[in-house]
Chain A
Amino acid sequence: MSFIQTAIPFVPILPLIGALILGFFGKRIQASVGEFKTGILGCLTPGLAAVISFASFFVLITLEPEQRVFTIHLTDWISVAELDVQWAFRYDPLSALMLMIVTGIGTLIHIYSMGYMHDDQSYWRFFSYINLFLAAMLLLVLGDNLVIMFLGWEGVGLCSYLLIGFWFSDSDNAQAGKKAFLFNRVGDLGFITGIFLLYLFSSQHYDIVTLSFGELDQRALFLSKSSLWDYPLLEIAALCFFIGAMGKSAQIPLYVWLPDAMAGPTPVSALIHAATMVTAGVYMIGRMYFLFALAPNVLMFVSWIAALTCFFSATIGMAQFDIKKVLAYSTVSQLGYMFLAMGVGAFSAGIFHLLTHAAFKAALFMGSGSVIVALHHKQDMREMGGLLKKMPVTGWSMIAATLAIMGFPLTSGFFSKDEILWKAYMQGSPALWLIGFTAAGITSFYMWRLIFMTFFGESRCDKHTWDHVKEQPKRTVVPIAILAFLALVLGFLNIPHFLGGHSGFTDYLSPVVQDLEIAPSKLIETSSLIDTHVSSTMTDESLSVEEDHTQLEWTLMILSVLWTIFTGLIAFFFYYLSPKTRQIIMSFIWAKKLFQLLSDKYYIDELYEIVIITPIKAIFQICSLHDQKVIDGIVNFAGFFGKWIAKISAVFDNQIVDGCVNGTGWLSQFSGQGFSRLQSGKIQSLVGASLLVGIGFIVLLVFYFI
């Protein structure tokens, strides 16, 4: 047993233990040892898990690339007919990376929460939930088969619901939790349908179906020849899984829950709704890239949905005033970039953006949380301003993270986003690149708008609050600073070839995730010819073509850097240098209309209300009308019911007693009496009697035949 095989199972188990201890005894623990020590206890298990994750990673990279995939089998789980699902974990470069993101950022956010959740009466409950979340997320990441992944998938959904509605006494928060839960259900239906499809077709051709990723990888090519309703099976299955990802990762049309989810505490927004859970969809596609690679139509669909999501949510972000809402739309938009990468077959670029985004978005969220606490839970940016002087660490950290998200040269976002845009241009289409490129500029605009409105200019909050604003304690700001630092430097992990790097990250992932070498659209054209021979020749061709594009790559990169700096400067001009110009422009009627449209989120929520909710309500109405009619009779008798029960049961008793006493003939006395006893009219004794008879029966049969 190597270190990895022994240690990895503890990674999800440790937070689970923490969650259970805090969940069952948290109140007592908090009462006896105090808030601080409870927090320490809450941070302990994620911390240990993080230590194991990082240690395992360093063990992993010492191995040869071919040996870096571990399947850790714990025990059997469901073993019936062809189905043989096992409790098994899969530790490979991809899950190792995710483990580090989840436990690393998770631990930092736990520490941050100790400050943020200070003085909350349900301190222990928060740590219990968030520990449980980590356990579920780690299960999702580590699961070796679809069923365990689904278990984690549902687990994180549950925790997300619990944490969004953490302050459930406010009904808005509870509503937001429910909304998130319901939208996720829609997606989950897709996910589980995908599992069923794969199982159904796998079980028709093979004796054993474990649904593990290794097995699916081997069978994918074979399954791609099956078809369902005259459509290729894998396309349908991949579409189902993508619907699951749409729900979890907030893509059009299932994204509306994420901005509302900001009702939860800020650490939750940072951990769950920015860094980890919402990226589960991206991770899932990466995990099953072999399946998606055989479904080029779905990949095209993914890339277009992603590009649209990326663009539209970015535009909405420009017109929000709630600091967390801006970041929420920004998250949706950045998730769009990740799916764009997935959709054009640049799986490693998508995962890389997942990594960098986790760092800078977590930093931004935690920074905003720090600001919110400092301003006594004000979230409206119109009441902020000039905070850089009072909160230098938070401020500079957020500026660093903003540089990263806008893709300023040499920050992490620069490497990850340009990689995606380049792949979108090469393997998708110029149109996709243009949408992504535009959205990048918009991103830069609204992020700098946020920074200038919050940290620069004159303070717009009232004097009392201003006087009390101060930098947050170390346990809050140090994690932010760490993440901001990471946001600046993480990009150097994957310097592309044309900048003189080695694409180290892509190489690192290559044992488990391989990018498509040709555009999905070309795959569709040649799908009838798919076999290894043809695709290998295609690969050679595309490689030889790639050499000529270095110049184009440079051009696009410089274009996007200039464009983001330009839009950043627009924000600088409008929100710092001359707010007057802004007010003049805003006084035009078209500008007002446009702003209104954006700030009302294109009326998508209202559209859902009309298209989905109203018809459903109408159906409810009809059903309830009908119910009333049916139940009417029962309601009419309800008044008499109680009175009559007593009378009826009295009559009933008399009859039975009468029957026993006045029974005619020995036969009825002897047998009828016995049976009537059984028939006492009490449901408990009826059920009991039938159980007793049944048990006697089985015993009789068993003895009869043995």
Chain B
Amino acid sequence: MVNTLPYLNFIPAYVLIGISILIFFVGKAVPKISRLPVTVFFIFILCIAFMMEGAGSGSQVLFFNMIQIDSFSRLYNQLFFLVILSTVLMMSNSEEIDSDLRWENYGLLSTICLGMMFMVSSKHLLMTVVGIELVSLPSYLLVAMNKKNPASKEAALKYVLFGSFATGIMLYGMSFLFGLTGSLTFEGLWNGLSGYHILGSPIYFLAIFMTLGGIAFKISAVPFHFWTPDAYQAAPTPITAFLSCAPKVAGLALLMRFFAVLLPEQSEQMGVFISIVAMLTMTLGNFAALKQTDIKRLLAYSSISHAGFLLMGVAVMNDAGRQVVFFYIPIYLLMNLGAFMAIIYLSKGTNFQIDSYKGMIYKKPLLVVSLAVCMFSLAGIPPFAGFIGKLYLFKVVIEKEMFLLAIVAGINSVVSLYYYVYVLKVMIIDKDITPEIEFKGKPATIAFVASCAVPLVFFGIYWVPLLDWASKVVLFQ
């Protein structure tokens, strides 16, 4: 009566990515296979997976209530494939990654990818744990992969310790939830928590807070953000770019799934809960970014603050909010990945000091202009896409009458402008005092940054296609 194998038909992309993990780890050991052009192969797999997800339709609950396949999961999975594809491109243009280790790196990336896919389609706390750990464990390794910066090992170890701390907290919280409700599925859990005595009691908040700890760790939300600057600074830049996008998106998607089946009273409380987290996260990220002298650290804090902004969309707890989050995410990916790619090109060894970029506009005008578009977009200046994204976020928040959140977010937008513009000021206005240096980067890098910048301008003016795409993101359909 319960034969699970036919379910595999419903999740072809999962199967494909699972197989690719195997291929990458086993293929390395086989001499004949290991000489094949692995990057092309991986990109090919990702494209196939992208198309598979595009072809899917309908909503299914699979594997004993463990997994929910719907348009939400499909579209997010497509985003993941895009991010990983960009990461692969960045990795092949970076000096910080040992190109001999490509097989392993791609294997690890595929593992993360599978984990993220589990996260967005998870319907059950066990699946949540599996997904989060599948993402976390390879991330630790990838952070340690920086061959130019020995500190990456130290940072990776800190990341591991902090990650296991967060996981421990999460599992503890889950055990509370299970004890309170006797269920591990999201529906069963919230229904079980609806009792009058539990709702709003300390144990209720403790359990939810601790359970969310693991997810907060992945989206680096306060108070589980402490690992972010160190890990981001020491990791190879492509990995930093990847970590600042994909797992965050997966975490947010998981969060939205987790909150998708709330009862009305719970959704009010949880809305307040998430909005407090959002405010703290964006404020902390922005203010800490103000004084950074290292561009990777600066972007790390910037990504924390953006996690805060994205949480605004989660905090409203309705379909509009979820669609705006999905609307903002591609924009965020473009500007963030563009900025990181520019850094890969500009960096010299382990030196990521902002001061070393003085007068860069005169040497690489196209790159700096593209970077400027990304930076302005990150700051949310019209007419770039980042502005539109933030506008919609504010819109749903104000519609839900969460004025405090809107005000705090507004102040934060203004503050963030300072440090983004500061980077540009150094590059464009300051005079160069360092001697002429050679850039080893390839022209492809500049093309990549430019191809991030152009859509940002385009979507800033005409964002209807994105809006259409986002409107397809509906849970359980």
Give the number of residues in A that approach B within 8 Å (Cβ atoms): 54
Q: In the complex, A190→B345 CA distance in Å?
A: 57
- Checking B2, B25, B147, B154 against A645 with a beta-carbon cut-off of 8 angstroms, the contacting residue is B154
Q: Does A590 contact B (CB under 8 A)?
A: no
In residues 265-279 of chain B, which contact A (Cβ within 8 Å)?
269, 272-273, 276-277
Q: Does A63 contact B (CB under 8 A)?
A: no
Residues of A within 8 A of B153 (CB): 634, 637, 641
CB contact under 8 A between A668 and B291, given known A82-B182, A686-B226, A700-B276: yes
Determine whether the beta carbon of A648 is less than 8 Å from that of B227.
Answer: no
- Checking A81, A659, A681, A693 against B182 with a beta-carbon cut-off of 8 angstroms, the contacting residue is A81
CB contact under 8 A between A683 and B158, given known A633-B101, A648-B151: yes
Q: In the complex, A82→B276 CA distance in Å?
A: 36
Determine whether the beta carbon of B28 is less than 8 Å from that of A664.
Answer: no
Q: In the complex, A655→B294 CA distance in Å?
A: 10
Q: In the complex, A83→B162 CA distance in Å?
A: 34
Q: Does A588 contact B (CB under 8 A)?
A: no
Q: 1/0 contact trace for A681-704 toward B, CB 8 Å?
A: 101001101111110011011101
Q: Does A679 contact B (CB under 8 A)?
A: yes
Interface segment among B201-209, B242-250, B440-448: the answer is B201-209
Interface segment among B282-290, B334-342, B364-372, B449-457: the answer is B282-290
Q: Which residue of chain A has the shortest Cβ distance to B227 in the bound complex?
A: A686
Residues of A within 8 A of B213 (CB): 694
Q: Does A607 contact B (CB under 8 A)?
A: no
Give the number of residues in B that approach A within 8 Å (Cβ atoms): 57
Q: Which residue of chain B has the shortest Cβ distance to A667 in the bound complex?
A: B290
Interface segment among A132-140, A171-179, A507-515, A623-631: the answer is A623-631
Determine whether the beta carbon of A676 is less than 8 Å from that of B151.
Answer: no
Determine whether the beta carbon of A671 is less than 8 Å from that of B287.
Answer: yes
Q: In the complex, A633→B147 CA distance in Å?
A: 8
Whole-angstrom distance between the Cβ of A325 and the nearest chain B Cβ: 43
Q: Does B191 contact A (CB under 8 A)?
A: no
Determine whether the beta carbon of A681 is less than 8 Å from that of B230.
Answer: yes
Residues of B within 8 A of A229 (CB): 1-3
CB contact under 8 A between A81 and B222, given known A626-B25, A633-B145: no
Residues of A within 8 A of B227 (CB): 686
Q: Does A227 contact B (CB under 8 A)?
A: yes
Q: Does A663 contact B (CB under 8 A)?
A: yes
CB contact under 8 A between A626 and B150, given known A663-B291, A686-B226, A689-B226: no
Determine whether the beta carbon of A637 is less than 8 Å from that of B200.
Answer: no
Determine whether the beta carbon of B161 is less than 8 Å from that of A683.
Answer: yes
Q: Does B382 contact A (CB under 8 A)?
A: no
Q: Does B229 contact A (CB under 8 A)?
A: yes
Q: 1/0 contact trace for A371-414 toward B, CB 8 Å?
A: 00000000000000000000000000000000000000000000
Q: Does B224 contact A (CB under 8 A)?
A: yes
Q: Which residue of chain A has the shortest Cβ distance to B294 in the bound complex?
A: A655
Q: Does B98 contact A (CB under 8 A)?
A: yes
Determine whether the beta carbon of B104 is less than 8 Å from that of A697.
Answer: no
Whole-angstrom distance between the Cβ of B235 and the nearest chain A Cβ: 14
B interface secondary structure, majority? helix
Determine whether the beta carbon of B178 is less than 8 Å from that of A664.
Answer: no
Determine whether the beta carbon of B209 is less than 8 Å from that of A698.
Answer: yes
Determine whether the beta carbon of B288 is less than 8 Å from that of A675.
Answer: yes
- Checking B29, B165, B276, B415 against A626 with a beta-carbon cut-off of 8 angstroms, the contacting residue is B29
Residues of A within 8 A of B205 (CB): 698, 701-702, 705
Determine whether the beta carbon of B288 is less than 8 Å from that of A230.
Answer: no
Q: Does A618 contact B (CB under 8 A)?
A: no
- Checking B1, B145, B183, B206 against A227 with a beta-carbon cut-off of 8 angstroms, the contacting residue is B1
Determine whether the beta carbon of A634 is less than 8 Å from that of B224.
Answer: no
Residues of A within 8 A of B28 (CB): 626, 629
Residues of A within 8 A of B277 (CB): 697
Determine whether the beta carbon of B178 is less than 8 Å from that of A80.
Answer: yes
Determine whether the beta carbon of B291 is less than 8 Å from that of A679.
Answer: no
Q: Does A7 contact B (CB under 8 A)?
A: no
Q: Does A552 contact B (CB under 8 A)?
A: no
- Checking B3, B151, B182 against A80 with a beta-carbon cut-off of 8 angstroms, the contacting residue is B182
Q: Does B179 contact A (CB under 8 A)?
A: yes
Whole-angstrom distance between the Cβ of A236 and the nearest chain B Cβ: 12
Q: Does B12 contact A (CB under 8 A)?
A: no
Q: In the complex, A230→B2 CA distance in Å?
A: 9
Determine whether the beta carbon of B1 is less than 8 Å from that of A706.
Answer: no
Q: Which residue of chain B has the shortest Cβ distance to A705 in the bound complex?
A: B200
Q: Which residue of chain A has the shortest Cβ distance to B217 in the bound complex?
A: A690
Number of A-B contacts (CB under 8 A): 133
Q: Does B477 contact A (CB under 8 A)?
A: no
Determine whether the beta carbon of A675 is less than 8 Å from that of B161.
Answer: no
Whole-angstrom distance between the Cβ of A123 and the nearest chain B Cβ: 41
Q: Does A77 contact B (CB under 8 A)?
A: no
- Checking B104, B200, B291 against A676 with a beta-carbon cut-off of 8 angstroms, the contacting residue is B291
Residues of B within 8 A of A706 (CB): 200
Determine whether the beta carbon of B162 is less than 8 Å from that of A693.
Answer: no
- Checking A625, A630, A648 against B154 with a beta-carbon cut-off of 8 angstroms, the contacting residue is A648
Q: Does A678 contact B (CB under 8 A)?
A: yes
Q: Does A501 contact B (CB under 8 A)?
A: no
Q: Does A61 contact B (CB under 8 A)?
A: no
In residues 335-383 of chain B, which contact A (Cβ within 8 Å)?
none
CB contact under 8 A between A630 and B104, given known A687-B162, A705-B200: yes
Whole-angstrom distance between the Cβ of B5 and the nearest chain A Cβ: 10
Residues of B within 8 A of A658 (CB): 293
Q: In the complex, A648→B152 CA distance in Å?
A: 11
Whole-angstrom distance between the Cβ of A668 and the nearest chain B Cβ: 4
- Checking B29, B178, B201, B223 against A690 with a beta-carbon cut-off of 8 angstroms, the contacting residue is B223
- Checking A81, A672, A687 against B161 with a beta-carbon cut-off of 8 angstroms, the contacting residue is A687
Determine whether the beta carbon of A686 is less than 8 Å from that of B29.
Answer: no
Q: Does A622 contact B (CB under 8 A)?
A: yes
Residues of A within 8 A of B331 (CB): none
Q: Does A554 contact B (CB under 8 A)?
A: no
Q: Interface centre among A625, A701, A702, by most B CB within 10 Å?
A: A701
Determine whether the beta carbon of A648 is less than 8 Å from that of B150.
Answer: yes
Q: Which residue of chain B has the shortest Cβ distance to A678 in the bound complex?
A: B226
Q: Does B144 contact A (CB under 8 A)?
A: yes
Q: Which residue of chain B has the shortest Cβ distance to A655 in the bound complex?
A: B293
Residues of A within 8 A of B145 (CB): 633
In residues 141-169 of chain B, which contact A (Cβ within 8 Å)?
141, 144-145, 147, 150-151, 153-154, 158, 161-162, 165, 169
Determine whether the beta carbon of B200 is less than 8 Å from that of A230.
Answer: no
CB contact under 8 A between A667 and B287, given known A630-B104, A633-B98: yes
- Checking A80, A625, A698, A704 against B206 with a beta-carbon cut-off of 8 angstroms, the contacting residue is A698
Q: In the complex, A228→B1 CA distance in Å?
A: 6
In residues 188-213 of chain B, which contact A (Cβ within 8 Å)?
200-202, 205-206, 209, 213
Q: 1/0 contact trace for A636-663 toward B, CB 8 Å?
A: 0100110011001000000100110001
Determine whether the beta carbon of A686 is less than 8 Å from that of B162.
Answer: yes
Q: In the complex, A679→B297 CA distance in Å?
A: 12
Residues of A within 8 A of B222 (CB): 693
Residues of A within 8 A of B3 (CB): 229
Q: In the complex, A648→B146 CA distance in Å?
A: 15
Determine whether the beta carbon of B150 is less than 8 Å from that of A80.
Answer: no
Q: Can you list 18 A-B pairs, Cβ within 8 angstroms, ordered by A? A: A81-B178, A230-B1, A630-B101, A633-B98, A633-B145, A644-B151, A664-B291, A672-B288, A672-B290, A672-B291, A676-B291, A687-B226, A690-B224, A690-B225, A694-B169, A697-B277, A705-B200, A705-B205
The 9 closest A-B pairs by CB, nearest first: A81-B182, A693-B223, A672-B291, A668-B291, A675-B288, A686-B226, A671-B287, A644-B150, A690-B223
Given contacts A80-B182, A633-B101, 19 further A-B contacts (CB under 8 A): A80-B179, A629-B28, A648-B151, A668-B290, A668-B291, A671-B287, A672-B291, A673-B291, A686-B158, A687-B161, A687-B226, A690-B225, A692-B223, A694-B223, A698-B205, A698-B206, A701-B205, A702-B200, A702-B202
Residue numbers of A with Cβ under 8 A of B are 80-83, 227-230, 622, 625-626, 629-630, 633-634, 637, 640-641, 644-645, 648, 655, 658-659, 663-665, 667-668, 671-673, 675-676, 678-679, 681, 683, 686-687, 689-694, 697-698, 700-702, 704-706
